[in-house]
Amino acid sequence: MSDYLQSILGGLADGCVYALIALGMSVIYSISRIISLAQGGFVVLAALCAVSLQSGLGISPLATLPIMVVIFSVGMIGVAQIVIQPAAKRATPERLLLVTVGMLQAVGGLLLIGWGNLPYTMPAFTGDAPVKVAGLSLPTQYFWLAGALAVSVLGLWLLLTKTDIGLAMRATASNPGAAALQGIRVDRMRLIAFGLAGAMAALAGTTIVPITFLQFTTVTPYAVAGFIAAVVGGLGSNMGAVTGGLLLGLLQGVFGRYWNADLAQLTAIALLVAVLVIRPQGIFGTPERVRR
Amino acid sequence: MSPLLTVRGLSRSFGGVAAVQSVDLEVEQGTIRAVIGPNGAGKTTLLDLVTGFTKPDMGTVDFDGHQLVGRSPRDLPSLGLMRTFQSARLVPSLTVRENVMLGAYRFTRARFLSDALRLPRTRREERELRSRADELIGFLDLTRFADSRATDLPAGAQRLVEVARGLAGAPKLLLLDEPAAGLDDSETRELADVLHAVREGGVTMVLIEHNMSLVLAISDQVTVMDAGKVIADDVPSTVREDAAVRKAYLGVAS
Amino acid sequence: MSAMTATRPRARLFGPLGVAAALALSGCSAVAAAEGEAIRIGLIASQTGPGSQLGIGEVRGAELAVEQINADGGVNGQRLELITADDQSNPSQAVLQARKMLGRVDAFVGPSTSGPCKAIGPLAESAQVVNYCLSPGLKPEPGGWQWSASVATHDLTSRLVDYWKSQGITRIGLLTQTDSSGAEGAESTKAAIDAVDGMELAGEATFSPDAVSVTAQLQQIARHEPQALVVWATGAGAGVAFKGMGQVGLDVPVATTDGNLTYAFVDRVQNFLPDPLLIPATRDFWDPAEYPNDEVREIEANYHDAYVAAHGEQPDFGPGVAYDGVHLVAEALERAEGDAAQARAELEKITDFDGVVGTYNFSREDHRGLAEKDVAIVQATKDGFEFIGGVE
């Protein structure tokens, strides 16, 4: 029983990362209709930057978190301003997808050049000894990971529903034309969305890397898992992204007990894709989003 | 005192057909100006030309010291000019209250960081915005819809939401495109009262309307258009008697 | 302590970039000089992309071999030239580069990994040019034009299982990554356990290369109470597994693939090294005391010393196979008197050839030439690789 729960926990840890990636993709998609596959790459980039910051400058692992969040939200706004917004003005959505795939490749290349084909990790935020609860072994970092996801979800919800910038962002997401007529600067709202996605990439990368090892090859699987989670949850739905991510991780973990990991992953994905046959808009998506 | 809005020689043709032909129009501060005319007379095109949705071939639009020709519609709220649409352009997934709050968005001074951190100023602004929106919703008798999705409302009510949203922006000039379409008689009377009160509050209005009783009840000045041209421009009582107007527009009605 | 436990390379942030640039320059000059009467070997290696960890070392090993052969008078008095190309760890690039070289080179060495090797196979066949592939993952056809470097996976696992048996370990757990190398490692380990009396598989699980944690898999295996664990995974996957062992408190000897025989990798995972971490390794990682004779001792010393002199660090997995590959192909070309088409027949006749990786015995049927005898067990420590034993 306890190692069955351990499988679930391991799956949920994977799921938290997928959920954070999917959430970033979802925020960007809902506001600018861009599917940013590069989000998976930024997570690994943030992780390895944090590792270098920690080992190079001797900063404590926990302290790298706010630093990375600031750097990556500002950095993503820069990337959006310099690369994505100009491209979005000219390219069709399909071409724009290619742009983000290209960015994903570029991030992978940057990681390879900067960090080589080697796995990296750093110490946990708060002690390496796992907490033992009822025969379960819980690395303390799991709590940080779950916390990062919770903070992202809650913070995003508060921002979107309780502030007027949030209102303007939701208006932009719903109908950019109508929003612009009210004097909302739609481009600025989109930049904010990219900044939020950057912050989430930093949260995900910095929090996950102490549990695991990351290297440049992790970029693509993360992008794919995040994308599947976002689509299954309902592209543009933040709740959906989180549900899709956690579900994908959970199913992988549980199936992995019985089958080869590849088969487990394939089955988990197939099961989620089957959801799309029944609900093409995804679990939490609204039909109008699909049509658009 | 110079007029708030001065339109001079405004023209636009589509595929050789003159939709609007050298139209001149002056709207004085604190008045309601109605623009009437049969379908296809060019009323909505005129509104689109004034608000930058359509670029004029010729002519100038002067509003409160600003030249509007060449400006984007999205710049107008910050100049104090709001408009409504024949088919309301509300933000679909937001509630009625949220749509109205958007109208005042340009007044919020809070910036992203303070919003994200929920600083006191942000919360105060948010509260003020919300109570002002609720006030306007009550004013337009939309309170029962406040928490409904705006686009779930009947078309007539959606136009009223647009009026409320326009007012939330505390405009100097409000341009209304057939606000009474789809309203029954008693609703129309209520709307007349509302617009009257709005004018008392110092807001100048340009009203495009089919409903003659509304027009005659509230406007200070009426412009009549036919085939893209202004064929009459006078006080309501005179316009009603004008032969050309009766022929072009009121013919059957009289 | 072995001679191979010298300086560990420090992790340098932008090291690989500089190396790649330097290699690109040297590659250009080699092409420019490749005119006139010379024997030419085309080296296709993954100098960029996922295989670059191997490819960069391979280029260094091959260059060292060419240098030494020319210093010893070349091939039948002719200069040996190396033309290098980067396949970017990509099969189609490998084919493109091989095609460019066709007609200019007398033999191919490389590419670095099995995918690109398989991709250029048909080209080598149709052009009738010997191809000494540097990936152990290739399974060359008897009588074909392709060769495969280093020892086969089943020889590695077989030697490992024998070693553990000699240590009184009988219950072996198996954790593998779901990629082609992991799958082959799993299959070979199971075959090796089946082949030895008294050995049994105690728990088996797989994980995908992007798994954040494998603690669940490790706990599953731990229930079977293994006395030792095989982790057939490279890079991040191996790191995740080692880290997970500490988390679930599974404290048993671990063995891993020779794909992790790099100082850089051990450096990265040094805080999570299982005690001990064993790797079945070829002769270039052994203790000099274990070498079969003085001749081999001299060959190894010659190779290691020259490599350290040139690069300031001990060679790891890549350089040795390329070094041997160039020596073997040059020997065959020498025996064939420069006739590329004859090189295959001559290469198949080479036996008892002492290289740095092992002693090669080729035949029409065996295009690998190395066997279990060329494998011994080394332990990865923070200071490098230490010879443990398992030599016959």
Please state the domain extents for chain B: 1-80+171-254, 92-169
Whether A159 sits inside 8 A of B126 (CB atoms) is no
Q: Distance between CA atoms of C41 and B148, rounded to whole angstroms?
A: 76
Q: Distance between CA atoms of A149 and A140, rounded to whole angstroms?
A: 15
B1-80+171-254 belongs to CATH 3.40.50.300: yes
pLDDT of res. A287: 58
Q: E-assigned strands of chain B?
A: 5-14, 17-27, 32-36, 58-63, 66-67, 81-83, 173-177, 204-208, 221-226, 229-234
Are chains C and A in contact at 3+ CB pairs closer than 8 Å? yes
DSSP state of B27: E
Cβ–Cβ under 8 Å, residues C381 and C371: no
Chain A CB contacts of B116 under 8 Å are 155, 159, 163, 165
Spans in chain B with pLDDT lower than 70 = 1, 106-120, 122, 248-254
- Of C269, C234, C310, residue with least CA distance to C53: C234
Q: Supply φ then ψ for residue A204, to 5 degrees.
A: -65, -50
Q: DSSP alpha helices (H): ranges in B7-149?
A: 43-51, 76-79, 96-103, 112-117, 120-139
Higher pLDDT, A254 or C58: C58
Q: Please give the average per-residue pLDDT across C27-40, as a whole number.
A: 54
Q: How far is Cα of residue A35 from the mean position of the Cα atoms in its chain?
A: 12
- Of C115, C117, C165, residue with least CA distance to C140: C117
pLDDT of res. A1: 60
DSSP state of B178: S
Q: Distance between CA atoms of B230 and C6, rounded to whole angstroms?
A: 96
> Which residues of B sit within 8 Å Cβ distance of A?
73-78, 89-94, 98, 101-103, 105-106, 108, 110-112, 115-116, 118, 122, 125-126, 129, 165, 169
Q: Does residue C304 surpass a pLDDT of 50?
A: yes
- ipTM of the predicted assembly exceeds 0.90: no
> How large is the angle between the packed helices A238-255 and A219-233, nearest 10 degrees?
120
Whether A213 sits inside 8 A of C213 (CB atoms) is no
Cα angle: B147, vertex B198, B129; to 5 degrees: 40
Whether B102 sits inside 8 A of A167 (CB atoms) is yes
- Of A194, A202, A193, A192, residue with least CA distance to A70: A202
Looking at the complex, does the CB of residue A121 fall below 8 Å from at least one CB of chain C? yes
- Number of inter-chain CB pairs under 8 A, A vs C: 131
Subunits with at least 3 CB pairs below 8 A relative to chain B? A
Whether C211 sits inside 8 A of A261 (CB atoms) is yes
Q: In 3-state terms, what secondary structure has residue A218?
A: helix
pLDDT of res. B112: 59
**For the CA atoms of chain B, what is the radius of gyration?**
19
Q: Distance between CA atoms of A120 and C235, rounded to whole angstroms?
A: 9
User: Would the CA dihedral through A88, A94, A99, A104 be positive or negative?
Assistant: positive
Q: Distance between CA atoms of C280 and C359, rounded to whole angstroms?
A: 16
pLDDT of res. C20: 43
Whether C15 sits inside 8 A of A261 (CB atoms) is no
Whether B115 sits inside 8 A of A170 (CB atoms) is no
Whether A118 sits inside 8 A of C238 (CB atoms) is no
Q: Distance between CA atoms of B9 and B24, rounded to whole angstroms?
A: 6
Cβ–Cβ under 8 Å, residues C227 and C171: yes
Cβ–Cβ under 8 Å, residues C279 and C163: no
Which residues 122-141 of A are in CB contact (within 8 Å) with C?
A: 130, 137, 139
Whether A164 sits inside 8 A of B110 (CB atoms) is yes
Report the residue of A212, A218, A224 to disrupt the C interface, i.e. the one with the largest count of C CBs within 10 Å: A212
Q: Distance between CA atoms of B165 and C187, rounded to whole angstroms?
A: 70
Higher pLDDT, C256 or B128: C256
Under the banding of pLDDT at 50, 70 and 90, the label for residue C26 is very low
pLDDT of res. B109: 54
Q: pLDDT tens track of chain A, all 292 residues?
A: 666 787 888 888 889 999 999 999 999 998 888 888 999 999 999 999 999 999 999 899 999 999 999 999 999 999 999 988 888 888 787 788 888 899 998 999 899 889 888 889 999 898 767 777 777 777 888 899 999 999 999 999 988 888 888 888 999 888 888 888 888 888 889 999 999 999 999 999 999 999 889 988 888 889 999 999 999 888 888 899 999 999 998 988 888 878 877 788 788 888 888 888 888 777 877 655 443 3
- In angstroms, the separation between the Cα of residue A22 and the nearest Cα of chain B is 21
Q: What is the pLDDT of residues C205-237, one digit of tens each?
A: 998 877 888 888 888 899 899 999 999 998 888
pLDDT of res. C12: 37
- In angstroms, the separation between the Cα of residue C205 and the nearest Cα of chain A is 7
Reported as type and span, the H/E element at residue A22 is: helix A2-32
Whole-number Cα distances in Å, A118 to C11, C115, C266, C319: 10, 20, 10, 18
C153-284+376-389 belongs to CATH 3.30.360.10: no
Only one residue has tokens 């029962």, namely B144
Q: Which fold has domain C15-150+292-371?
A: Rossmann fold (3.40.50)
Task: Indicate the domain borders of chain C.
Answer: 15-150+292-371, 153-284+376-389
Under the banding of pLDDT at 50, 70 and 90, the label for residue C23 is very low
Write out the DSSP string of B124-161. Answer: HHHHHHHHHHHHHHHHTT-GGGTTSBGGGS-HHHHHHH
Q: Does residue C14 surpass a pLDDT of 50?
A: no
Maximum pairwise Cα distance, chain A: 59
Q: What is the pLDDT of residues C264-274, one digit of tens each?
A: 888 888 888 99
Contacts 24+ apart (CB under 8 A), C91-94: C91/C115, C91/C116, C91/C118, C91/C119, C92/C119, C94/C44, C94/C119, C94/C120
pLDDT of res. C333: 93
Whether B89 sits inside 8 A of A178 (CB atoms) is yes
Whether A118 sits inside 8 A of C17 (CB atoms) is no
Whether C206 sits inside 8 A of A7 (CB atoms) is no
Chain A CB contacts of B112 under 8 Å are 165, 192
Q: Distance between CA atoms of C378 and C279, rounded to whole angstroms?
A: 5
Q: Distance between CA atoms of C177 and C244, rounded to whole angstroms?
A: 14
Cβ–Cβ under 8 Å, residues A211 and C244: no
How, if at all, do strands C107-109 and C38-45 pair? parallel
Q: In 3-state terms, what secondary structure has residue B8?
A: strand
Q: What is the pLDDT of residues C146-161, one digit of tens each?
A: 999 999 999 999 999 9
Residue positions counted in chain C: 392
Q: Which two tokens stand for residue A188?
A: 């600025």
Q: Please give the average per-residue pLDDT across C197-204, as a whole number.
A: 93
Whether B91 sits inside 8 A of A177 (CB atoms) is no
Q: Distance between CA atoms of A10 and C205, rounded to whole angstroms?
A: 14
Q: What is the pLDDT of residues C309-335, one digit of tens each?
A: 999 988 988 899 999 999 999 999 999
Q: Does residue C277 surpass a pLDDT of 60?
A: yes
Reported as type and span, the H/E element at residue C230 is: strand C228-232
pLDDT of res. C159: 93
pLDDT of res. A179: 86
Q: Which of B74, B75, B105 lies closest to A168 in CB terms?
A: B105
Higher pLDDT, C143 or B239: C143
pLDDT of res. C313: 87
- In angstroms, the separation between the Cα of residue A279 and the nearest Cα of chain C is 28
Are chains B and C in contact at 3+ CB pairs closer than 8 Å? no
If you measure CA to CA, which chain A residue comes closest to B93? A174
- Of B10, B179, B167, residue with least CA distance to B85: B179
If you measure CA to CA, which chain B residue comes closest to A152? B116
Q: Distance between CA atoms of C26 and C20, rounded to whole angstroms?
A: 10
Whether A265 sits inside 8 A of C208 (CB atoms) is yes
Write out the DSSP string of A129-183. Answer: SPEEETTEEE-HHHHHHHHHHHHHHHHHHHHHHHSHHHHHHHHHHH-HHHHHHTT
